Amino acid sequence: MLIPKHSKRLTFGALFPVGTPWFSLRSIVLGRISHPRHRQRSHNRPTRLDGLRCPIVGPPVFWFGSEAFYIAEAGIERAYVEVSSKNLNSVLAGVDGNKNNTTDNGILAFGASVPFAGGTYEVKVTDNNDGDGDIWNDTDGKAYITSTGRFGSSTRVIRVLVSRANLNFNAAITVIDEKCRTNQGGSAVVDGHDFTYNPSQQNNNPIRGSGPDVHAIARSCTTNNDDIKKPNQITGSGISPDITSDIGSLTLASVRSLRDDLIPRADIVYHGSTHLNGGTLGTRDAPKITYVDDILVLEGNVTGVGFLIVDKDFEVKGNFTYEGIILVGICPTCPGRIHGTGNAKMYGATVLANPTSSHDEEARIENMTGNSSIYYSTYGIDLALKRTFKTVGWQELMN
């Protein structure tokens, strides 16, 4: 049975079984419990403590077990770095990306067995029981990471259940409402081809990525009222202007659930109508969750990486470069509208909803007549989804 990670406790009795010799206790207490990554170790064990000679001919068996346990934990920590930054199905498929070739399924990039601190850890990722009967296919955004630590004659096995949001976007912009409107012209671009960019280049021009292409705009709307003056600038996997009614597996309920989960963990929060004249809302090394509970207007030079959640209107007047996922509207009482008259380059995916039926009962992409560009980017999406990664449960398995 899995228990929440924060509930894990080691009691004195569990650490020091009845009958443990006092000199073994002292050896353990005087530095043998700390994590192996944070101390120097020597295999030449002392045989003298405070002037008293002790009949120690080698490390106690329990010490081997504790070392194996900490080595297993080191394997979990290293796995977190890789698994948190990838789609779980790509992790389950292994390095070759082919889940049907099961020889490397669930093996991470650092290999099946890694020497560490005088022992080894072996890490493997498998799917949880999500009902599809396939341990190499994820459908619910959850998977097991199992790490086996070995030291001397001891082995310890730790298994954690982790989760990562599983959103499949079918467009650079997804719009969900009863009535929708898109007003585009000027130099405004919406592109569903996979792109990224090089931050060292000041112009932030797009570079083709290696991920799959999607549509430019996908809408789940009863009626549409469009004014598109430059259809050749709305491109993607379909015919220009590339606007489809197929939003794929994405639902308003799933996006709303993600929004509600992210807000309590937001790194940057703005209350009330907000105007930003500059600043950074996250970096590639440290993506941020930014939440604005009202209108957001960007007027200066603003950059960011991660999640940007805006409950009301989102308007770009200045220079804005962003990688990640932008959610506008979404909640049941949140009116949503996007303005794009400035110089913006957004890489990732944007979702717009207007559940309150305000603004003339339309979810609007409005006044995109400036130099705004919205590019689909699997790289940007993964940077954002990394922030959704979390540990759901933890357990030590019996050998």
Say whether both 159 and 261 belong to one domain: no
* 149 and 187 within one domain: no
φ, ψ (nearest 5 deg) of residue 188:
-65, 135
Domain of residue 251: give its range: 171-386
Does any domain span residue 7?
A: no
Question: Residue 354: how many CB atoms within 10 A of its CB?
Answer: 27
Residue 3 confidence (pLDDT): 45
Last residue of a domain, one of 136, 164, 192: 164
Is residue 398 included in any domain, yes or no? no
Q: Is residue 290 part of a domain?
A: yes
- Let me know if residue 345 belongs to a domain: yes
Asked if the structure places residue 4 within a domain, the reply is: no
Distance CA 157, CA 396 (A): 6
Identify whether residues 151 and 190 lie together within a single domain: no
Q: Is the peptide bond before 212 cis (omega within 30 degrees of 0)?
A: no
Q: pTM, whole model, 2 decimals?
A: 0.76
Q: CA 42 to CA 310: how far, in whole Å?
A: 55
Give the C-alpha separation, 11 to 14, whole Å. 5
pLDDT less than 70: residues of the chain: 1-63, 179, 202-204, 341, 355-364, 367, 399
Domain endpoint, select from 164, 193, 214 = 164
The reply to whether 356 and 210 lie within a common domain is yes
236 and 148 in a common domain: no
Dmax (CA) of the chain? 90
User: What are the backbone dihedrals phi and psi of residue 336, each rounded to the nearest 5 degrees, phi first?
Assistant: -130, 135
**Residue 133 sits in the same domain as residue 186:** no
Do 233 and 359 share a structural domain? Answer: yes
Confidence (pLDDT) at 297 = 95
pLDDT score of 28: 37
Question: CA-CA distance, 288 to 265, in Å (whole number)?
Answer: 10
Kindly tell me the sign of the dihedral angle through the C-alpha atoms of 66, 71, 75, 78: positive
Number of domains composing the chain? 2
The last residue of one of the domains, among 164, 194, 224, is 164
Same domain, 211 and 158: no
Q: Is there a domain that residue 62 lies in?
A: yes
Q: Confirm if 218 and 175 have CB atoms less than 8 A apart.
A: yes
Q: What is the pLDDT of residues 288-318, one digit of tens each?
A: 999 999 999 999 899 999 999 999 999 998 8
pLDDT for 220: 87
Same domain assignment for residues 142 and 182: no
